[in-house]
Amino acid sequence: MRYTVFSCGLFYDRFHPEGLAGYNMGYTEGISEPGSFLVDVVNATADVVELNSNGRPIHVCMTAMTDVAKFVAAAVENISLSDWPREFRMRGDRLSIRELLRVCERVRGGMFNHALWSELAVLIQRVVQWLSTNTYGTTLILAHTWTCTASKETRLGTATCKD
């Protein structure tokens, strides 16, 4: 069976004041509400990891949903299905996590209350410690990872982790 994947990164629309719910999307996956991923523009909060395990900045690629729709429509109308590759790639913008946070702060008109994790390993340490002191299911834990507040961070303490 032939198939093609359209890769677009994140939807810019996730950062809409109403989240994906403003577009009547994301309910089944539990990602419809604003602030359910990286930054919450409405409440001016963020919980992000800045660097990968090699110490390099993490980048996100983003595309507007309407641009994805135009791209797919153009592919359908102008390229024979037999010539489609396994993957079509598109992006509207590519920003580091820090740049994304700064753009959101400019749009919001002020600094965000945020936990800017320096490395993914540090965040994983915090989640492991949180797991050891709580009995919630995995899905809730993953959601907590991206939405914890400064007070939760204090509660998590400073775990040490050996590589």
Please report, for the chain, the start and end positions of each structural domain, with discontinuous segments joined by +.
5-119
Distance between CA atoms of residues 76 and 57, nearest Å: 36
Closest CA to 59 of 43, 48, 67: 48
Predicted TM-score (pTM) of this structure: 0.64
Distance between CA atoms of residues 160 and 163, nearest Å: 10
In percent, the amount of the chain with pLDDT more than 90 equals 31
Chain-centre distance of CA 136, in angstroms? 22
pLDDT digits (tens, 9 = 90+) for 69-91: 999 999 999 999 999 999 999 98
How many Cβ atoms from other residues are within 10 Å of residue 153's Cβ? 14
**Burial class of residue 77 in the structure, from the number of CB atoms within 10 Å of its CB (0-12 exposed, 13-18 middle, 19+ buried):** exposed
pLDDT value of position 72: 95
